[in-house]
Structure 1
Amino acid sequence: MQPPRCCLLLILLYLFLLSGTWATLQGTFTFWLLHTSTFQNTSFVDTEAIGLLEDIELGILDKHTWDIHFCQPWVRPALPRRQWDTLDNMLKVYLRNFNLLMNQGAIQKDVPYPFVAQSMTGCKLYPNRTSRVFLYVGYNGQDFLSFNTDSSTWTLSQDTDLARYVRDVLQNETALAEAVTDLLNYICVNTLEMFLNYGRAALERQELPVATVFARTPSPHQLLLVCHVTAFYPRPISVAWLRDGHEVPPGPQLNTSPVLPNADLTYQLSSVLAVAPQDGHSYACRVRHRSLGTRSLLVPWGNSQLLLITGLVAGLLGAVALAALMLLCLWRRRKHQGTEESESRSSILSKEA
């Protein structure tokens, strides 16, 4: 069962009339639906789905009721209720047919249970307003099928009995291919443009990175300099080590972790540089991020810390010297005052005599 073509045409007309009225953001943006179905056996499937604009959660699917729960206050007003109802119906029809087809294929081709099937569907909008759409299907974590909207055909990503069975069934559903093509080429892109307008504040959010440099000593002959950067948003960031002011090139001595999410919807990563203890160089961690503008965050280590300690010692010695000088002046003043008082008393005694 597929959604009526008239519903799709109404949505296309509505989005076409309104798409030119939205102010757009600069940059490349992706709108996608990620879905996972876990097939425990022939009669039980656990289905989950989430909609994303970049890394912003738009809505999640309740796996028990299949109702959509909106994650951002601006998502629901982005489309009129009628359009949301139609898209909601299309999503449920898609998931139901997806699970049915994968189950039938597993039974036909004697595929062992349990297994996991996934799909990633969406569109990407570029700064020059061109777009790219995609639909990928996965099986047990591996590429399985993909859909080509230019030819409305399904392509094998792995040559297995199950993949060929599902591909052949889908290829015979011409109405489904046309509906998917319309959904991706028109509805997805125009919906993305409207989300860009309604979600402008969320997309323009910026959080400054906080960087800390510290050291670990796994052995007496090795020093690991760690630059931990956290609390930044958006996700793209550049972290590099500088040796005597020059960037350390990639190599076995340099290891940078992937960007990982924090619980507060910011990100973190760590960059580790292996050096020889007391190698005589100065080191600094340099962080570049959109929230910093044209500036860079520079956190020093190495000789720069030695200079800091030397400066502190020099300052302390200077303070001690100044205190000693003040005590010497005070002693001399008191000595001078004592001499004057002694001479004054001697003069008085001489006059009295």
Structure 2
Amino acid sequence: MLFLQLVLFVVLLPGGGSEDDFQETITFRIILTTSFYNHSWTQNQGSAWLDELQTHGWDNKTGAFSYLQPWSKGNFSNEELMEVEKLFYTYSIRSPSIYHNHVTEWQLEYPFQVQLVLGCDSHFGEASVGFMRIAYQGSDLVSFQNTSWWPSPEGGSRAQQVCTLFNQYHVSSEIVHKLLTDSCPRFLLGLLDAGKAYLQRQVRPQAWLSTGPSPGPGRLLLVCHVSGFYPKPMGVMWMRGEQEQRGTQRGDVLPHADGTWYLRVTLDVEAKKAAGLSCRVRHRSLGGQDIILYWGHHLSVYLILLAVTVPLLLLIVLALWFKKRCSYEDIP
């Protein structure tokens, strides 16, 4: 019964989705991590993610879900969501006993972590059969395929023993199969529809150039910054004319708090060869009109601003001095 409860709450756990019109594959994942510190002390952390966007949090003390997006409930009713919360909380309290009771048999060593990942993929608006995997200490242990649990090749004898136990619950396996092939994909498509406006939005990037720390004598580290764009796929390359520069180094795409993204792309070049280089930015929101920033042009703009600003400031200072002097001369 315990494993059956695990199955029910995990598959029904609500998640978030996105429309596939702008991305070939969208992956929705539910992650539950249980940390085993000793035989009497465990801690659970749960969340749900749409690719890299977190759609749900979970309070392990009250068992309540937090809906991080306005559309995170999808098309589930409040009654369904409350039932899922109860199942999830029940599992989080009772499931650790499965591993505690088999510490010796499965050669588990405190402290350790067990992570369950369940999810669905959506390809161009069509949801695929769901998946369920369990990992031990960050390494794959077992996965559910078709109607039964299968050991991971890297799981060794421990994975074989876990499968032997889990596959004894035939009714549970049938429920897992049904929920992964029906409930999870159906719920994902409901979320994709509920979050369509948000997930299909397009936000134009802002781009600018700068220099980074000097790589060495006579060299420059050119930096192309691209910020505030959505969706995530972004093409940035340092160019000379129409030729891509092979030394281009792409950083990680980092999230902003508002759901948009930031990317930093660098190029290490000889200072004397920097002239004529440009940074090309390609993104869906630009409608085919790439942003091209030429190295040296931004410096020219700064020089122009200085050339205009400095004389203007001098004139203002001179005028104030002259006015002040005249006021003194008018005093009898």
Q: TM-score, normalised by structure 1?
A: 0.74
More helix by share: 1
CA, structure 1 residues 102+289, in 2 after alignment: closer, same or farther (shift >3 Å)? farther
Matched residue, 1:200:
196
CA, structure 1 residues 130+33, in 2 after alignment: closer, same or farther (shift >3 Å)? closer
Which of 53, 58, 71 is equivalent to 1:56?
53
CA, structure 1 residues 67+258, in 2 after alignment: closer, same or farther (shift >3 Å)? same
Matched residue, 1:282:
276
Higher relative contact order, chain-length normalized (CA < 8 Å, sep 6+) = 2
Deviation at 1:312, TM superposition (A): 5.5
Deviating more after overlay: 65-74 vs 193-202: 65-74
Matched residue, 2:329:
none
Provide the rounded CA distance (Å) in 2 between the counterparts of 1:201 and 1:76.
Answer: 15
Deviation digits for residues 63-97 of structure 1 (CA, Å, limit 9, x no counterpart): 22222122223333621123223333443455456
Q: Are the counterparts in 1 of residues 250 and 265 from structure 2 also a CA contact under 8 Å?
A: yes
Provide the rounded CA distance (Å) in 1 between the counterparts of 2:294 and 2:180.
Answer: 49
Which of 162, 182, 187 is equivalent to 1:186?
182
Deviation at 1:160, TM superposition (A): 3.4
Provide the rounded CA distance (Å) in 2 between the counterparts of 1:96 and 1:173.
Answer: 20
Deviation at 1:186, TM superposition (A): 0.4
**Amino acid aligned to 1:154:** W
In our comparison, the structure showing a higher alpha carbon Rg is: 1
Matched residue, 2:211:
215
Q: Are the counterparts in 1 of residues 127 and 189 from structure 2 also a CA contact under 8 Å?
A: no
Deviating more after overlay: 163-172 vs 270-279: 163-172
Provide the rounded CA distance (Å) in 2 between the counterparts of 1:3 and 1:136.
Answer: 16
Matched residue, 2:318:
none
CA, structure 1 residues 234+102, in 2 after alignment: closer, same or farther (shift >3 Å)? farther
Deviation digits for residues 139-163 of structure 1 (CA, Å, limit 9, x no counterpart): 2222222221x24332324233433
Identity rate of aligned residues, in percent? 29
Which of 63, 69, 75 is equivalent to 1:72?
69
Deviation digits for residues 14-41 of structure 1 (CA, Å, limit 9, x no counterpart): xxxxxxxxxx762433222112111111
Task: For structure 2, list consecutive stretches of 5 or more residues without a partner in the other structure.
Answer: 13-18, 309-332
Matched residue, 2:223:
226
Provide the rounded CA distance (Å) in 2 between the counterparts of 1:128 and 1:207.
Answer: 22
CA RMSD, Structure 1 to Structure 2 (Å): 3.0
Deviating more after overlay: 188-197 vs 82-91: 82-91
Deviation digits for residues 242-287 of structure 1 (CA, Å, limit 9, x no counterpart): 11232223xxx33211212223332212111111111265111111
**Amino acid aligned to 1:226:** V
Which of 34, 55, 60 is equivalent to 1:37?
34
Matched residue, 1:340:
none
Mapping of 1:261-272 within 5 angstroms?
Answer: 261-272=255-266
Deviation digits for residues 300-337 of structure 1 (CA, Å, limit 9, x no counterpart): 214x568x47x959x99xxxxxxxxxxxxxxxxxxxxx
Deviation digits for residues 201-222 of structure 1 (CA, Å, limit 9, x no counterpart): 2212332222221123231132
3-state DSSP class of the match of 2:33? strand
Counterpart check, 1:175 vs 2:171:
yes
